[in-house]
Amino acid sequence: MMSREPVIPCKGFRTGTPLAAWRVDAFVKVTLINHTENPDRICAAAAQSCYSEKGASELFDATSNDRARNMIDKVVSMGHLSVVEHAHFTFSVEGVSRALTHQLVRHRIASYSQQSQRYVSMEKAEYVIPPKIADDEMAKAAFTKAMDEAWRVYRDLSKAVPKEDARYVLPNACHTNITLTMNARELWHLFRLRCCRRAQWEIRLMAWMMLAEAKRVAPILFSNAGPGCYRGACPEGDYSCGRPYDKAKPPTEQALLAESAGADE
């Protein structure tokens, strides 16, 4: 199979809008497909109910956005994060590598449904090419040759053995889709770790896309969400990159793509 040239669409963080780089026949795509209705007010009402004689149903109706912001800021600053677990968000992440999803599923407080290689044919060679490999002609040629050989063997094996056995030769670069549901607290944790510059480039790109989608529907809950450096000193200690993100200027898609290519390293 002949590899296509890298494709770098830069159309911004929007629902269903592909944003990716260096892949074959696929774009990484992050779509928020469902979420708790009124997530900011739900969590604020839950927080208020801990300190009120009234129930959350009555408090919810009386909660304005300003009151929700004040309440959430107060309880989160106190470390009372259980109240933000009442809001859930479901994302479809498509066109990513299995190297990414192996990292993603380490976030245990979540539900995952991943494209099966047992039941879905992988005969079409779709894979992610890491940007630093794509930018090196010799590395790219070696990588593409290895991918072509892996899929050639997969197709040959698929004629003789079940797909569930043939898939063992497929690489981490193999394209996959995954659906995930997390509550707001776990998303905060994911964004703290995976939006960091020290995170692996592909999952970092996905995390920033997810954060943009989450902020669109829950701007109060996620107003301070992001890498650890958003809220003070870098939590990485001696492993800090020394280049904290500026919360007032979140990275653009072009900047993230440049980071993925190692342009700023």
Active site residues: 194
Please spell the DSSP secondary structure of 41-90, one letter per residue: HHHHHHHHHTS-SS-HHHHHHT--HHHHHHHHHHHHHTT-GGGGGG-EEE
- Among the listed residues 182, 185, 181, 183, the one whose alpha carbon sits nearest the alpha carbon of residue 81: 185
Contact indicator for 117, 167 with CB cutoff of 8 Å: yes
| Amino acid found at 41 | R
Q: What is the DSSP letter of 23?
A: B
Token couple for 131: 């940007």
DSSP-based three-state secondary structure for 31 = strand
List residues bridging with 127 in a β-sheet: 174
Residue 24's CB: how many other CB atoms inside 10 A?
21
Token couple for 45: 């009402």
Dist. CA 110–CA 194, nearest whole Å: 15
Dist. CA 109–CA 96, nearest whole Å: 21
DSSP-based three-state secondary structure for 103 = helix
Dist. CA 19–CA 241, nearest whole Å: 25
